[in-house]
Amino acid sequence: MARKFLYVFAFCIILVIAGSFLLARFPAELTRLAMVPTAAFTPVTPLSANAYEDPGLWYSRPGIGVSDPARWQPAYADPAAAPPAPGSAPAKRARAFAVFFVHPTSYVNRSSWNAPLANGGDPEAERIARIYLRGMASPFNAASEIWAPRYRQATFGAFLTDAPEGRKAIDAAFADVREAFRFFLSTVDPGTPIVLAGHSQGALHLKRLIAEEVKGTPLAARLVAAYLIGWPVSPLHDLPVMGLPACTAADQTGCVISWSSFAEPADPSLVLEAYESAPALDGKLPGTEPMLCTNPLTGLTGGAAPASANLGTLVPEDSMEKGALVPALVPARCDKRGLLLIGPPPEMGSYVLPGNNYHVYDLPLFWANTQADVIRRAGAWKAAG
C-alpha cells in the first residue's frame, strides 16, 4: 500500500518532534495517534468537469505573474560560478513545452481526511505548498507554461492506516489531480510537448495518472519525460503498467526519471521495508528488487558522478522560502538498492529526516541539473519531431 511508504516519513517527523524513547517502544501506535484523523470520513464530492477553469484552483498557471511560486528563479551564491544557461534570465530561455506539476503532502491536519479547497483552504497547508513549489517546481521554469493545481490532497495520516477511509482519501485526491490534468490538456496547444513532474504524494498520483490517462493514447507521444521524484518506482512492476521506460540516455524522451536521496552513512531500512511490502501498480510486491534510480547529475539510470558535475544545489534559508544556488556541493551515486547517495551530509537545514534521509531536499539538491535536464530533453523532443 502507498500508506506504508509515507508511514516512514511520518514516523521520522514524529521521531524528531517527540523524541526517540517512546517511539522506539511504540512506533506504530504513537505515529498513528499523532497523525491519523479521528473524524469520520466525509465523502468528497467530485469536482465538476469545468472546476479547474477557476484560476483560484491553481498555484501556478499562465497569467499569474510574479506571484507564481513555480516561476521563482534563485540566484547563485557566487555569481561568478553560474553556468551561462542555468544562470540566464527565465524569459530568455523559455522553451515551448508545458509542465504539469503536482506538489507533495502539505496537509497534516487530523480534523479531516482531505485538505479543503473552499474559502482559501487550510492556511498552513497552503503556505507550505507554496514553499514546496518554489523549491521543487521552479527547476522547470524554463517552460513556456507551468501548471500546478491545488487539490484535496490526502492528509498525512491517510497513508498510515489500513482503514478504508485512508484509501478513499487518496482516491479523492487523485480524482482532483485527474480533473486538473484534463483541464490542463484542454488548454495547452495540442502540438505542445508536455512534462509531468511531482514529488512524494504528487509523484504517487502521477504514476497512476500515467497508467490511466497517458498509456496507449496519442498523449504518450507528446511526453518529454515524467519526473516522479521522492516516491519509489519499480522497474518491473510499475513501468510496464505505465507504458514508459526508464530514462537511460541524457537526451531520451518519453521516459521516467526517479530518485530518493540519502547522505552517508545512510540508514534506509524503514524506506526499503516499506517499498518491499507495498504493492506496485500491477498489484505485486517489489520485494528486494531495486528501485528505479536516475542519477540527476548525468540523466542516466544508475551510475555515479562527482560533485563537480553538480551545476547548483538550492541551499535554503531556515524559512525555506528563499535560498541560493551553490555549485559542486554534493555528488550522486545510485547504489544496488536503487537509492541515490549524496556523500557526507550537506548542510541543508532542519528538515533532514533520521537515517540521513534527504527526502524534503530531493529536488533542491539537484536544482540546476534538473533545470538543464528538462531543457535538454525538450530540445531533443523538438529535434526528433
Work out the angle at residue 176's Cα, subtended by the Cα atoms of residues 173 and 182, and round it to the nearest 5 degrees: 140
**Residue 147 belongs to some domain of the structure:** yes
Torsions phi, psi for 24 (to 5 deg): -65, -30
- Summarize pLDDT for 169-192 with one digit per residue, the tens: 889 999 999 999 999 999 999 999
Structural contact between residues 375 and 143, judged by C-beta atoms closer than 8 angstroms: no
| pLDDT tens digit sequence for 18-46 | 333 333 333 444 445 456 777 777 888 99
Residue 45 forms part of a structural domain: yes
Distances, alpha carbon 192 to alpha carbons 141, 143, 195, 373, in Å: 16, 11, 10, 18
pLDDT at 378: 97
How high is the pLDDT of residue 353? 86
**Upstream peptide bond of 265 is cis (omega within 30 degrees of 0):** yes
Measured in whole angstroms, the distance separating CA 356 from the mean position of its chain's CA atoms is 19
Q: What pLDDT score does 127 carry?
A: 95
Better-scored residue on pLDDT, 221 or 22: 221
Per 3-state DSSP, the chain is made up of helix, strand and coil in percentages (nearest 5) of 40, 15, 40
Domain contains 314: no
φ, ψ (nearest 5 deg) of residue 357 = -85, 115
In a domain, 64, yes or no: yes
The verdict on residue 320 lying in a domain is no
87 has pLDDT over 50: no
Nearest residue to 227 via CA among 204, 251, 195, 184? 195
Q: Is residue 121 part of a domain?
A: yes
DSSP one-letter string for 143-157: EEEEEEE---PBPGG
Residue 301 lies in a domain: no
Which residues lie across from 227 on neighbouring strands? Answer: 197, 257
DSSP H helix total and E strand total for the chain: 10, 15
**Predicted TM-score (pTM) of this structure:** 0.90
Residue 156: give the domain boundaries. Answer: 2-260+269-289+370-384
Query: How high is the pLDDT of residue 35?
Result: 63
Q: What is the 3-state secondary structure (H, E, C) of 189-243?
A: CCCCCEEEEEECHHHHHHHHHHHHHHCCCHHHHHEEEEEEECCCCCCCCCHHHHC
6 pLDDT more than 50: no
User: Is 325 within a domain?
Assistant: no
Domains contained in the chain, number: 1
Q: What is the pLDDT of residues 232-250, one digit of tens each?
A: 999 999 999 999 999 999 9
Q: What pLDDT is stored for residue 111 in this prediction?
A: 82
pLDDT tens by residue, 315-339: 998 777 789 999 999 999 999 999 9
Which string of b and e fits 181-196 if b means at least 16 CB within 10 Å? bebbbeebeeeebbbb
| Residue indicated by cell numbers 465523502 | 43
Amino acid at 311: L
pLDDT by residue (tens digit) across 92-119? 455 799 999 999 999 888 788 889 999 9
Q: How far apart are the first and last CA of the chain?
A: 39
Q: Is 288 strand, coil or helix?
A: coil
pLDDT digit string (tens) for 246-267?
Answer: 999 999 999 999 999 999 999 9
- Give the pLDDT of residue 274: 80
Q: What is the mean pLDDT of residues 57-63?
A: 97
Q: pLDDT above 90 covers what percent of the chain?
A: 70
> Is residue 17 over pLDDT 70?
no
In this prediction, residue 14 carries a pLDDT of 41
